[in-house]
Amino acid sequence: MPKLPLLARLLAPLLAPLLAIAAPSVARADALIDNVNGMTLDEKGQVVRFTGLMMNRDGKITYLLSSGQKRPKKVDWKIDMGGKTMVPGMIDGHGHVMGLGAQLVRIDLSETNSLDEALAKLRAYAADNPSKWIVGGGWNQERWKLGRFPTAAELDAAIGDRPAWLERVDGHAGWANSRAIALANVTAATKDPNGGRIERGAGGKPAGVFVDGAMDLITNSIPAPTPRELNAAFLAAQDRLLSLGVTSVADMGTSQNDWLTFRRLADINLLKMRILSYAAGVDTALAVAGQGPTPWLYADRLRMGGIKLLADGALGSRGARLKADYADAPGNKGLTFFSDDQLLNRMIRGSMDGFQIAVHAIGDRANQQVLDAIEVLSDTYKGDRRWRIEHAQIVDPKDLPRFGKFGTIASMQPVHQTSDMHMAEARLGEARLVGAYAWRSMLQNGSKLAFGSDFPVESPDPWAGWAASFTRQDASGQPFGGWRPQEAVTREQGWAGFTTGAAYAGFAEDKIGRIAIGMRADFLIIDRDPLLAAPGDLRATKVIETWVGGDRVWQRK
């Protein structure tokens, strides 16, 4: 991450709103939030409606009031919401908090529609930012309709001899220029690392793109961000998430530096959201948490309870591990990150100390590999383990029943389906789409669904994800009738994925995900009824206020 110019100016607009809205810290007294169009799901997924809510000094809900029910005469304070809609805070079941922060403070190419547009943006950014390294991301050759990866030579022409590194939108590939490649001492003689691939040109020379495990060849040469830069990135991410109504996140792949950043800001009361942390590998988990998950910290705002592992790469960079060749790349079945025994050993090591195991698996072969490991582990590690498979995008239909067999959670992202649908058709061919983005099949086979966005790969907007879950359509309403509509879930099931399901997936169902007695008072005031809104209107939902633990932590101006 390049050094941030005028850091104080960046921090000021992020800190000011937090300080300004801290006034309702009187929420630490017994309080009544009244005159709301309140709705939540109960433990069985049924809609519960209410018109008022009471909470105590600990920021927990003590009572729900219905229309016509007598209100208490004496409370320490109350607010009349004027009939506005109240819903539980949304939970993103799979995101990358510091990745989002980095995207917000660095150059972001996610909205560029062509290589030329991206290069023009890079050229302007380089002129305005004299830092040595240019670091950013968000590019997508599929969106550019390029038909290939971009090259180092093209990047050289835009920014010259300054080293540059730009991650692909999915975080599973990166684009370097010639100067960055030279600084990393990567040459034609450099071998592809395990679980990675160097895209090559004439004579085996690195062409500019490094996939999955090969990315470290470049990133190890980039100067590390300072704690101040990390603080600024986190605050930017938190503000963005709270503005969208995301009150809790399962942070997938938390590094030691990420954890220190969360703790550093929590120590000065600037951690406003909740983070369910999954460590980036076994070593990180043991370094941070020691022999087992951490306790809930900062009034249930932070906990490292799990470990994230990677079984393959991404579909867009053809790193997802498939059982058969890619339809558009014969001879390529994707990347193998671990042998079966290696993956099993890592899952055993984490399970021994009681960590929840979450494994990234996108391709059908990777999903089979993880399911095989879970079946072996389930003979030894009994009890409520809640094994998680992250993404579960392409699954062999014969493997779908195995998700329910051992209570495996399918942690999926509806917006991946709407972004990937045409690419998936090209990568796989029609015959292999039967188990693709198969949300309804997961439920029918007894799996639990947790929904998220995988931000910053996709936008963290939960309303777009919710709409996609029951329509299988993108923001423009395409395709008509939905893409493979037989895999859509109901509106209520989609809502559950972003609330009760995501809470359950993180062992937090007794704290968050519902508006109910004894739960943390995490709720939103929004501008419409999401159960009545048309899909396009649901996507346009605006959050008016965001409350976490009985404190108003964000307010629309």
pLDDT above 80: residue 17: no
412 bridge partner residues: 451
Q: Which two tokens stand for residue 354?
A: 């009681």
Torsions phi, psi for 420 (to 5 deg): -95, -10
Question: Is 344 domain-assigned?
Answer: yes
Please give the residue range of the domain that contains residue 190: 133-219
121 occurs within a structural domain = no
Are 215 and 316 in a shared domain? no
* Domain final residue, candidates 161, 189, 219: 219
Mean of per-residue pLDDT scores for the chain = 93
Is residue 487 pLDDT above 80, yes or no?
yes
235 inside domain = no
Which of 358, 379, 371, 416 lies closest to 397, judged by CA? 371
Q: Could you give phi then psi for residue 178, rounded to 5 degrees?
A: -65, -35
Specify the DSSP class assigned to residue 214.
Answer: G
Residue whose pair of structure tokens reads 């009545």 in the numeric block: 532
Alpha helices in 429-528 (DSSP H): 439-444, 462-471, 491-497, 500-505
- Assigned domain for 269 exists: no
On the 0-12 / 13-18 / 19+ scale of CB atoms within 10 A, 24 is: middle
Task: Give the count of beta carbons closer than 10 Å to the beta carbon of residue 127.
Answer: 9
Is the pLDDT assigned to residue 3 strictly greater than 80? Answer: no
Question: What number is the average pLDDT over the span 358-382?
Answer: 97
The total number of structural domains in the chain stands at 2
Q: Tell me, what CATH number does 335's domain have?
A: 3.20.20.140
Q: Which residue has the higher pLDDT, 294 or 195?
A: 294
pLDDT recorded at residue 191: 95
pLDDT of residue 15: 57
**What are the angstrom distances between the C-alpha of 36 and each of 84, 216, 242, 412, 480?**
5, 51, 20, 31, 35
Say yes or no to pLDDT of 292 above 70.
yes
Q: Which residues pair with 451 in a beta bridge?
A: 412
Give 28 or 122, the one with higher predicted confidence.
122
* pLDDT of 8 higher than 50: no
| Mean pLDDT for the stretch of residues 477-491 | 98
CA 201 to chain centre: 34
Going by the DSSP 8-state scheme, the letter that residue 475 receives in this structure is T
- In this structure, the answer to whether residues 315 and 213 fall within a common structural domain is no
pLDDT band for position 112 (cuts 50, 70, 90) = very high
Instruction: Using DSSP bridges, classify how beta strands 134-139 and 90-95 pair: parallel, antiparallel or unpaired.
Output: unpaired
**460 and 324 share one domain:** yes
Residue 418 lies in a domain: yes
Which of 161, 190, 219 terminates a domain? The answer is: 219
CB 544 within 8 A of CB 538: no
Task: Verify that 326 and 206 share a domain, yes or no.
Answer: no
d(CA 302, CA 299): 8
Whether 120 maps to a domain, the answer reads no
Per-residue pLDDT, 170 = 87
Is residue 270 within 8 Å of 490, Cβ to Cβ? no
Q: Is the residue at 29 inside a domain?
A: no
Q: How far apart are CA 537 and CA 327, in angstroms?
A: 37
SS (H, E, C) 249-293: EEEEEECHHHHHHHHHHHHCCCCCCEEEEEEECHHHHHHHHCCCC
Judge if 210 and 349 occupy the same domain.
no
Instruction: Read off the pLDDT band of 11 (50, 70, 90).
Output: low
- Of the candidates 458, 539, 449, the one whose C-alpha atom is nearest the C-alpha of residue 502 is 449
Residue 25's pLDDT is what? 38
Q: What is the mean pLDDT of residues 281-308?
A: 97
Considering 219, 252, 271, which residue would you say is the last residue of a domain? 219
Q: Which tens digits make up the pLDDT trace of 515-553? A: 999 999 999 999 999 999 999 999 999 999 999 999 999
401 in any annotated domain:
yes
Q: In this predicted structure, what is the pLDDT of residue 130?
A: 82
Q: Does the pLDDT at position 436 exceed 70? A: yes
pLDDT digits (tens, 9 = 90+) for 42-97: 999 999 999 999 999 999 999 999 998 999 988 999 999 999 999 999 999 999 99
Q: Please indicate, yes or no, whether residues 212 and 320 belong to a single structural domain of this protein.
A: no
**Full DSSP string of 63-125:** EEE-TTPPPPS--SEEEE-TT-EEEEPEEEEEE-HHHHHHHHHSEE-TT--SHHHHHHHHHHH
Q: What is the pLDDT of residue 27?
A: 38
pLDDT at 113: 96
Alpha-carbon separation of residue 72 from 36, 54, 58 (angstroms):
16, 10, 19
**Mean pLDDT to the nearest integer, 252-271:** 98
**CATH code, 153:** 3.10.310.70
Do 368 and 473 share a domain, yes or no?
A: yes
Distances from the Cα of 465 to the Cαs of 61, 110, 397, 460, in angstroms?
Answer: 27, 18, 24, 9
Amino acid at 306: G
User: Against a cut of 0.85, is the pTM above it?
Assistant: yes
User: What confidence score (pLDDT) does residue 132 get?
Assistant: 85
Query: Does the pLDDT at position 380 exceed 70?
Result: yes
List, for residues 168-192, the tens digit of each pLDDT value: 988 889 999 999 999 999 999 999 9
Domain match, 185 and 328 both = no
